[in-house]
């Protein structure tokens, strides 16, 4: 039986500390990446959504945690400039792909009267 996804603030803080400890101890550098579901399983969870949110919070707090979608896949603590630059490039490519998808979708829905707040800030299509 897996544990529920919903945690109290206290439990979330505890897991955040455990995740950070695990990453800094065992997942330093891209070659030591750990998949989200494997991280969740280590803490008795079958779903990694909570751990992805925790990792996002840790990044926002200043920890250089990156992820890889090619082997070895998973999350890891960046240990050098090369790893940092590679991950920045990956994120920039995702932004470009998402912007292209957004532009295409706005074009595809041009027959619909979209509220102005949904089109503010979009590039001209």
pLDDT at 115: 72
Q: Regarding beta strands 65-68 and 74-77, do their DSSP bridges make them parallel or antiparallel, or are they unpaired?
A: antiparallel
More confident residue, 10 or 67: 67
Any domain includes 110: no
Any domain includes 118: no
The domain in which residue 33 lies consists of: 9-78
Any domain includes 108: no
What is the tens place of the pLDDT at every residue in 6-26?
778 888 899 999 999 999 999
Any domain includes 39: yes
pLDDT at 106: 85
Contact 79, 32 (CB under 8 A): no
pLDDT at 110: 83
Structure tokens given for 32: 């030591």
Any domain includes 106: no
As for how many domains the chain has, the answer is: 1
Any domain includes 57: yes
Q: Is 34 helix (H, G, I), strand (E, B) or coil?
A: strand
CATH number, domain of 56, equals 1.10.10.10
What is the tens place of the pLDDT at every residue in 82-125?
999 999 999 999 999 999 999 899 889 888 877 765 655 665 54
pLDDT at 125: 45
Any domain includes 104: no
pLDDT at 123: 57
Any domain includes 59: yes
């Amino acid at each position: 039986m897996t544990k529920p996804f919903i945690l109290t603030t206290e439990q979330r803080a505890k897991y955040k500390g455990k995740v950070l400890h695990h990453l800094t101890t065992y997942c330093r550098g891209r070659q030591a990446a750990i998949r989200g579901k494997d991280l969740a399983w280590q803490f008795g969870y079958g779903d990694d959504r909570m751990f992805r949110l925790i990792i996002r919070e840790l990044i926002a707090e200043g920890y250089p945690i990156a992820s890889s979608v090619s082997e070895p896949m998973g999350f890891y603590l960046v240990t050098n400039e090369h790893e940092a630059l590679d991950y920045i490039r990956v994120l920039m490519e995702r932004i470009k792909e998402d912007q292209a998808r957004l532009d295409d979708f706005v074009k595809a829905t041009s027959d619909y009267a979209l509220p102005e707040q949904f089109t503010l800030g979009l590039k001209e299509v």
